[in-house]
């Protein structure tokens, strides 16, 4: 079934004689019907979504709850990387309130107050003694304006990431923020092996933490008087009449799109910081900057800093190794190239010498579906045995009553339950046919 589907819809290895790479048989540029149907379906879904946001009161909340559950229950929380729940959270809230102490501390803006100040371009008075109150009444879905304020044409969009904070809000907090922010070293930090004990923060922990982009968090957001929604996007002057309002809308969309690009770039920063190879916080505040230019767009570009501080040194080191290898008669590179084949020969010899090792690898190659490398049986089996041993130690601390509950589950009826779920039977059949191809 999977093979038939590939042959019917693609030209990869099947001799498919349909439209090729957007051109017809005469070589003229053309848009295929499949592309047109995809665009039409996407436009219809988007229009339906916008209509439901405006006319169905509970639609936004239910969609947000569904996205949150899907992210939490996805394998290892992998769906969280798409930020669907954060993007949809702005439609599920009707009002946001901040107290004065959350916005100002010792006469200076907090991270929250500074973000609102930059988003509104100074048009919202963050130092208001009564705090700030935003409401979605009279605004487009997801946007809020200040209640009782003089600048009603300043709209702000808030996002929430729950107790851990908003990732999109954290990116907005750093976007065009002043450079040079430093992260202080903690005197104590939690011991990951024993959460009840606190130890001094190691150099490696501090090194990674000062690189890892923080989430946007509202001070005291877990209390009843506060909310955990963080300001993320804004649009200013879009309700003005004539060309000026249109131009303000274009500028707002461009600014918000740049914020999204900045947040996407920080996803790579998250990965690099886990290895200790990221940029320090405070060294960048935008996606990219114009080289040899000062001012708003002249410093702090993430792409520029990554190229200068990470890519260029790596490339220079690579060229230096090439130069050294050349002057040493290519002996270092030949020695490194010889390691993989020598390791395979040593592995094969060891497999022949160990009792039953060769029969295990042959059994694995014959039984496992698809093209398999028999030598993987030994490390794969070792990993399986190690996993069983690890879980055995974990289960020692689990009460027997909990283990008994799991043992009483009707596992035998699981295949029947899968066939009852709409679409599950088709998916399992496709997977099995794909493995047989």
Q: How far is residue 214's CA from residue 183's CA, in Å, rounded to a whole number?
A: 11
Whole-number pLDDT of residue 82: 83
Whole-number pLDDT of residue 17: 46
Strand partners, 105: 108
Q: How far is residue 328's CA from residue 322's CA, in Å, rounded to a whole number?
A: 10
Smallest CA-to-CA distance from 143 within 134, 151, 132 is with: 134
* Angle between helical axes of 312-327 and 331-353 (0-180°, round to 10): 90
**Model's pTM, two decimal places?**
0.69
Whole-number pLDDT of residue 408: 62
3-class SS at 105? strand
Helix (H) or strand (E) holding 407: helix 400-407
Q: What angle do CA 433, 435, 437 make, to 5 degrees?
A: 70
* Exposure string for 377-408, b = 16+ CB within 10 A, e = fewer: bbeeeeeeeeeeeeeeeeeeeeeeeeeeeeee
Smallest CA-to-CA distance from 104 within 92, 117, 113 is with: 113
3-class SS at 195? coil
Q: How far is residue 34's CA from residue 9's CA, in Å, rounded to a whole number?
A: 9
- In order along the chain (437 residues), what is the average pLDDT of each group of 10 residues? 56 48 52 77 89 87 88 81 87 88 89 92 88 87 84 86 85 90 70 63 84 84 62 90 90 92 91 90 90 81 92 94 93 92 84 74 64 61 79 71 62 54 55 50
Instruction: Give me the residue spans of the domains in the chain.
Output: 90-182+203-287, 328-385, 398-437
CA dist 336 to 327, 340, 382, Å?
Answer: 16, 8, 27
Q: How far is residue 94's CA from residue 141's CA, in Å, rounded to a whole number?
A: 9
Q: How far is residue 325's CA from residue 146's CA, in Å, rounded to a whole number?
A: 65
Q: How far is residue 437's CA from residue 432's CA, in Å, rounded to a whole number?
A: 9
Specify whether the CB–CB gap between 236 and 153 falls below 8 A. Answer: yes
Q: How far is residue 144's CA from residue 96's CA, in Å, rounded to a whole number?
A: 9
């Amino acid at each position: 079934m999977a093979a038939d589907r590939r042959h019917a819809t693609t030209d990869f290895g099947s001799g498919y004689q349909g439209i090729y790479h957007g051109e017809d048989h005469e070589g003229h540029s053309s848009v295929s019907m499949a592309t047109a149907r995809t665009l039409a379906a996407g436009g219809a879904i988007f229009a339906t979504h916008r209509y439901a946001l405006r006319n169905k009161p509970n639609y936004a909340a239910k969609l947000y709850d569904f996205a949150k559950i899907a992210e939490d229950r996805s394998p290892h929380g992998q769906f969280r990387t798409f930020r669907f729940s954060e993007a949809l959270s702005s439609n599920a809230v009707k009002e946001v309130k901040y107290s004065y102490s959350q916005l100002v501390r010792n006469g200076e803006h907090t991270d929250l107050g500074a973000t609102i100040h930059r988003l509104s371009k100074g048009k919202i008075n963050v130092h208001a003694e009564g705090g700030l109150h935003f409401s979605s009444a009279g605004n487009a879905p997801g946007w809020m304006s200040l209640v009782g304020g003089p600048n009603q044409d300043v709209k702000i969009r808030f996002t929430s990431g729950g107790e851990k904070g908003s990732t999109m809000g954290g990116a907005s907090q750093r976007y065009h923020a002043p450079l040079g922010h430093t992260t202080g070293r903690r005197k104590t930090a939690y011991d990951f092996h024993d959460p009840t004990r606190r130890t001094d923060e190691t150099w490696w922990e501090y090194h990674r933490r000062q690189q890892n982009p923080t989430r946007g968090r509202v001070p005291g957001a877990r209390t009843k008087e506060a909310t955990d929604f963080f300001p993320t996007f804004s649009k200013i002057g879009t309700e003005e009449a004539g060309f000026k309002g249109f131009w303000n809308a274009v500028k707002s969309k461009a600014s918000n799109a740049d914020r999204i690009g900045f947040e996407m770039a920080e996803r790579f920063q998250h990965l690099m910081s886990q290895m200790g190879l990221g940029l320090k916080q405070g060294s960048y505040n935008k996606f990219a900057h114009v080289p040899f230019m000062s001012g708003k767009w002249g410093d702090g570009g993430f792409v520029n800093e990554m190229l200068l501080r990470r890519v260029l040194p790596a490339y220079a080191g690579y060229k230096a190794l090439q130069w050294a290898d050349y002057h040493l008669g290519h002996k270092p590179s030949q020695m490194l190239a010889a390691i993989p084949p020598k390791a395979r020969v040593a592995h094969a010899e060891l497999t022949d010498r160990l009792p039953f090792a060769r029969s295990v690898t042959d059994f694995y190659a014959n039984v496992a579906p698809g093209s398999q490398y028999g030598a993987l049986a030994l490390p794969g089996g070792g990993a399986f045995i190690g996993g069983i041993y690890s879980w055995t130690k974990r289960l020692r601390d689990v009460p027997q009553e909990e283990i008994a509950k799991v043992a009483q589950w009707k596992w035998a009826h699981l295949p029947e339950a899968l066939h009852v779920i709409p679409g599950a039977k088709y998916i399992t059949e496709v997977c099995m046919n794909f493995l047989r191809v």
